[in-house]
Chain A
Amino acid sequence: MAKYKVLVVDDEPGIRMGTRRILQNFRVDYPFMDEHIEFEILEAPTGEDAIEIIDREMPDIILLDNKLPGIQGIEVLEYVKKKLYDIVVVMITSYASLELAVKATRDGAYDFIPKPFTPQELRGSLENITKQLFLKRMTQKMNKEGKQIRFQFLSLLSHELKAPLNAIEGYLKIMDEKQFGENIQSYKEMISRSLDRVTGMRSLIMDLLDLTKIESGSPVQNFQPTDLTAVAQISIDTMRPYAIQKDVDVYLNTKESVIMNADSKEIEIIFNNLISNAVKYNKRNGRVDIFIKKGGNTLTITVSDSGIGITDEEKARLFQDFVRIKNQKTKNITGSGLGLSIMKKIVEMYHGDIIVDSIPDQGSTFSIVFPIEN
């Protein structure tokens, strides 16, 4: 439950009392809100008192009479605007002339309630204001959080892009200054490292493109009956040169077609990530086994490897952006650190789960479980 503070500014005690009674047990529910909103009533007989209470209590809503004994309501409104307080001000007045209405609205009053008002009128008006205020604050909050996440992501991204650039630039400078003499052979290792870093950077950019596609809400998702076994085979063919280079055998143990209603491009990203990781973090003469099974209400993709495995501690960090598990065993392996977080986002779009089983030095098994309709 949330509580909004409503400050009633009126020199007539009857109006203040009446407002308190009308709003005391009033609550606003909203279909989109998980919670309902109730009101706490504060009272001020003069504009001067109102300003004091505003500074101290920071109300959410002010019901403001214009005709006050000291400073006028419109001056209280000006004060609120000047201080940039996030308060919704509603003018209550029986002297509601057009001129005042225009001025108050220009100064930021949200609404007018003509006096005298019925309980229904007051409640109706409060309900609208409350919903508007709630939505506005919600939007502000989400914008702020979104910006923060975006900032973190961009910070990490620029770090990840800068590291290979620094490395390549460093090697080029060494070569430019001919620090190891005239013979190009002396620079062979540096050239090969530079090329590795370029490859790493390219795969980061490719992953980023995938991620952008997913995060833009995928308006181009193309759902159709897709044979996962066939997609797995395409992915294996893509990875084959890499697997040969790493001396790892990849087996597709499911031969029959397994059909799922899905976007084949997205399924391919999932397989590419699973298989390339299984090859990448494997041992020489290692193997990768792929199974695709349909049963009951689920469809499960399983990719097992005979690789280096991961610890429980590492497992917890596995799906974060740019996290690459760094240890002695992985130090020569390059990657963007985005693959698994991309895969997780896709799997989530299908309301699926990812299960990771791993024993260090023996291997890991990644299972993707999709719910399906029969």
Chain B
Amino acid sequence: MKKTILIVDDDMDYLFQMKLKVEQFGFETITAESQKEGEMIIESVKPDLAILDLMMESDDSGFILAYRIKRKYPDVPIIIATAVTAETGMSFDINTDENQQWIKADLFLDKGIRADQLQREINKLLKI
């Protein structure tokens, strides 16, 4: 059975392109355009993996949504895709112990990531 990936991003163009890429990798997708919509979806659907934008309704929407997803489905891997890290120097290094305590994401990716890299990361998290 095809695995299902939840993609949440408030940039409709990025959402469309990410959906296209992920479907080309051979996954099913569900999309949401806001943290709120994402929260509604996880009420009824358990995705196999989630790719979340960071800044949506608020600057930390991605973190909040990641937290809610992990609370409901602790085993669902979460990728936070952001354009923030690269140019702001605001780095949320997921690998430090301190950050791992509060950031409920498994991986941070830069939004400009190449398709093949993205596929590799998704497969790694899904243990394919």
Contact = CB atoms under 8 A, between A and B. Distances in A.
Given A167-B14, A331-B10, A159 B88 contact: yes
A97 interface: no
B88 A166 contact: no
Contacts of A328: 34
A162 B87 contact: yes
A302 to B, nearest CB: 30
Contact of B14 (A159, A163, A179, A327): A163
A276 B116 CA distance: 42
Contacts of B89: 155
A159 B112 contact: no
Mostly, the A contact residues are helix
A193 interface: yes
Interface in A165-215: 166-167, 170-171, 174, 179, 193, 197
A166 B57 contact: no
Range class of the A interface residue count: 10 to 19
Contact of B83 (A162, A170, A179, A331): A162
A193 B13 contact: yes
Contacts of B12: 193, 331-332
Contacts of A193: 12-13
Interface in B66-94: 83-84, 87-90
Interface string B18-46: 00100000000000011000000000000
A326 interface: yes
Nearest to A180: B20
A166 B10 contact: no
A139 B60 CA distance: 33
B56 interface: yes
B91 to A, nearest CB: 12
Contact of B87 (A158, A170, A332): A158
A197 B34 CA distance: 19
A326 B10 contact: yes
Contacts of A170: 13-14, 17
A4 to B, nearest CB: 36
B34 A166 contact: no
A193 B56 CA distance: 20
Contact of A159 (B13, B34, B87): B87
A364 to B, nearest CB: 19
A148 to B, nearest CB: 13
Given A158-B87, A163-B83, A327-B57, A174 B14 contact: no
Nearest to A159: B83
A166 B14 contact: yes
Interface string A146-165: 00000000010011001100
B55 interface: yes
A166 B56 contact: no
B34 A158 contact: no
A331 B33 contact: yes
A167 B20 contact: no
A171 B88 contact: no
A155 B34 contact: no
Interface in A310-351: 326-328, 331-332
A167 B11 CA distance: 9
B84 A171 contact: no
A162 B87 CA distance: 9
A155 B13 contact: no
A165 to B, nearest CB: 9
A166 B111 contact: yes
B13 A197 contact: yes
Contacts of A179: 20
Nearest to B115: A173
A324 B55 CA distance: 12
B31 to A, nearest CB: 13
A336 to B, nearest CB: 15
Contact of B56 (A171, A326, A332): A326
Contacts of B20: 174, 179
Given A159-B83, A159-B84, A170-B14, 19 more contacts: A155-B87, A155-B88, A155-B90, A159-B55, A159-B87, A163-B11, A163-B14, A166-B14, A166-B111, A166-B112, A167-B11, A171-B13, A171-B17, A193-B13, A197-B13, A326-B56, A327-B57, A331-B10, A331-B33
21 contacts: A155-B89, A155-B90, A159-B55, A159-B83, A159-B84, A162-B83, A162-B87, A163-B14, A163-B83, A166-B14, A167-B11, A167-B13, A167-B14, A170-B13, A170-B17, A171-B13, A193-B12, A193-B13, A326-B10, A326-B34, A331-B12
